[in-house]
Structure 1
Amino acid sequence: MTTPDITIISADEWPPVLELFDRCNRTDGIVLPVTLDADPSPTLVAARIGETVVGGAAMYGYFEIEAVIAVDPAWRRRGIGRCLITQIGQWARARGGSWVALADEAGPAVAGFATALGLQRLHGEIQLALDPALLPPLPPLPEAWQTRLAETNDAAAISAIIADAFGDPAEQVAAFVADRIANPVHRFVIGEIAGIPVAAMRLLRSAQGITITTFGVRRDQQGRGYGRLFLLTTLYRLLAAGYHDIRIEVEETNKPAYNLYCACGFTPQRRYGVYGLTPT
């Protein structure tokens, strides 16, 4: 086994690692989920043999790390991927946290790599992209319906919707919303009936386009078509504003949400597996 030097790197050291990710994408016909302006921003890691970058990782989160790992095609089967996984696990344990690895399952080596390292597939996420040609007509809007961009003073209303829709702790959701609502990369959208907020979503803007996330409807208002109406209204406005690369992700087991997105013009593009250590 070849033992590399693995370190967390600063932004000025990113280019060779980003080039490595691109090289792996081209070689394997995949798209590694590495987004520099993601939420949260990733921490990049380099694995070096001497001055040569032979592997890398992008880590999202701090206590609960989601890691995207890549090994230069010319340096595979030398234990470098195992060394990266081991080091990431050590960092996670030192922080009192945990880790998982994300992988584009179109990659030919994913299953073998997971088996060799004793990783099990925990669940999967499907990335979908909007096909404007499949976007259904916007239905007549109820007179009392309004979709609008949120302002900072809407933070409490957004937090209440998200906490209720997903069953998350109210204090954590409030901190999450407060941290992002004033950030220009994030824009929250609210759906209202007669002035009462019933739905919310977050638009994460990047150089690639828009990612729709944190999309929820209050539980007592679910099953009335508001989610579909809210999504379609927002999609038409985004297209009118010039955004054409619009994406959304969903847990593979969330069939109702998946069916809704497909019915609103989204098509599946990538399936990302989430892998972790097999319990002993």
Structure 2
Amino acid sequence: MHKSRSSQQQSRENQRGQVGIIVLLIAAVTLVVALTIANRSSQESQSSIQQEDSSRIFNIAEAGLENALNSIYDYETNGSALPNQVSNNDPILGNSLVSIELNPDFTGYLDAGQSIQINLTANTTGTIGFDWAKNSCAAGAANLLISVYSENSGTYQSNFYLVGNCNSAADQNLLAASTSSVEGMAFHFDLGLNNASFLRVTPLRGGTDMQISSSNNLISASQYQITSSAQNETGSTAKAIELSRSIPAAPNFMDYALASGGDLVK
């Protein structure tokens, strides 16, 4: 009888021990789950804060870009001085840094029939170098129509150069281009000029990537380079936006007025 009671007591103690272990295991699992959820919530909260901070900083950089474009508009229309830097105030993050450069060299893409204007330095002799096309003639590479305007006592004299290696029914008597030494570009053409005022470049047959540069500082201006950057107070988040914008150019139909030296007459 005594042995039976002792055996029952031992069994109950073993059960209590098993229950205690199970309770501890459940508590441990619950704690791990709780910590995992808390950590995930913390990470999601931190990610949300970073995304909000990143979006706010991008908006500040974008606002700086708009201020720069407004400054360029004032410079072009009212003759205002073109600032090298434009401040953009934010009550939380302070100023973004916006820089404006008026570059002589042009780098960009032009659609077929779209013209850009390149202003030239007065009373200067030099060479303009054109590099263009990242594809072959068979793949639709462009030819270039280069229109050069020289001013003499208020009258403009115009000269036109049709340049390229892609013969077609529309493009005849082309001035041949050489092979470009610029990586990725197919064609190159040098044009010597003396005392010209400005030139216009128009791709024919198709759009094209293009680089235009000069010797002897012959080009005075071709495009604006704008960089707007902003960051938070700690510097952990930063954004920068870059934009290239060509100088103003008259619509293509104005070439007829420039070539005739007078007004268009219906």
Q: Normalised by the size of structure 1, how large is the TM-score?
A: 0.24
Structure showing greater Rg: 2
Q: Which has the higher contact order (CA 8 A, sep 6+)?
A: 2
Q: Normalised by the size of structure 2, how large is the TM-score?
A: 0.25
